[in-house]
Copies of this chain bind each other. A is one copy, B any other.
Amino acid sequence: MNLKELATKLGLSPTTVSRALNGYPEVNEATRERVMAAAKRHNYRPNTRAIRLATGRALAVGHVIPLATRHEIVNPIFADFIAGAGETYSRNGYDMILSVVPDEAEEQAYRDLKSRGSADGVILHAPRMNDPRIPLLHEIGLPFVVHGRATGAELPYSWVDVNNRRAFQRATEFLLDLGHARIGLVNGLEFMDFAIRRRTGYVDALAGRAMPIDPALMSSDEMTEISGYRAASAMLDAPAPPTAFLVASMISGMGVRRAIEERGLKLGRDISVIIHDDDLSYMKNGGDVPIFTATRSSVRDAGRIAAEMLLSLIAQPGAGPEHRLLEAELIIGQSTGPAPRSPAPKV
| Complex CA–CA separation, A117 to B51 (angstroms) | 11
**Does B53 contact A282, Cβ atoms closer than 8 Å?**
no
A276–chain B nearest beta-carbon distance, Å: 15
Near B by CB (< 8 A), chain A positions 64-115 give: 65, 67, 71-72, 74-76, 78-80, 82-83, 85-87, 89-90, 95-101, 109, 112, 115
A340–chain B nearest beta-carbon distance, Å: 19
Whether A314 is near chain B, meaning CB under 8 Å from some CB there, is: no
Residues from chain B with Cβ under 8 Å of A115 in the complex: 43, 45
- From B48, B78, B224, B254, A225 is in contact (CB under 8 Å) with B254
Question: What band does the interface of chain A fall in when counting residues whose beta carbon is under 8 Å from B?
Answer: 35 or more
Residues from chain B with Cβ under 8 Å of A83 in the complex: 65, 67, 71, 74, 100
Near B by CB (< 8 A), chain A positions 171-229 give: 222-226
Whether A58 is near chain B, meaning CB under 8 Å from some CB there, is: yes
In the complex, the chain B residue whose C-beta lies closest to that of A109 is: B90
In the complex, the chain B residue whose C-beta lies closest to that of A79 is: B79
**Does B100 contact A282, Cβ atoms closer than 8 Å?**
no
| Complex CA–CA separation, A90 to B100 (angstroms) | 7
Interface centre among A47, A98, A112, A286 (most CB of B within 10 A): A98
In the complex, the chain B residue whose C-beta lies closest to that of A62 is: B95
Whether A46 is near chain B, meaning CB under 8 Å from some CB there, is: yes
Residues from chain B with Cβ under 8 Å of A60 in the complex: 97
In the complex, the chain B residue whose C-beta lies closest to that of A222 is: B282
A291–chain B nearest beta-carbon distance, Å: 8
CB contact under 8 A between A53 and B45, given known A100-B90, A282-B74: no
Residues from chain B with Cβ under 8 Å of A99 in the complex: 86, 90, 95-96
Whether A283 is near chain B, meaning CB under 8 Å from some CB there, is: yes
| Complex CA–CA separation, A281 to B26 (angstroms) | 56
Whether A138 is near chain B, meaning CB under 8 Å from some CB there, is: no
Given contact pairs A50-B53, A52-B53, A75-B79, a sample of 14 additional A-B residue pairs in the complex whose CB atoms are under 8 Å apart? A43-B115, A48-B116, A49-B52, A52-B52, A60-B97, A65-B86, A71-B281, A74-B80, A74-B82, A75-B76, A78-B79, A96-B99, A226-B286, A254-B254
Which 6 pairs between the two chains have the least Cβ-Cβ distance?
A86-B100, A79-B79, A45-B115, A76-B76, A48-B116, A74-B83
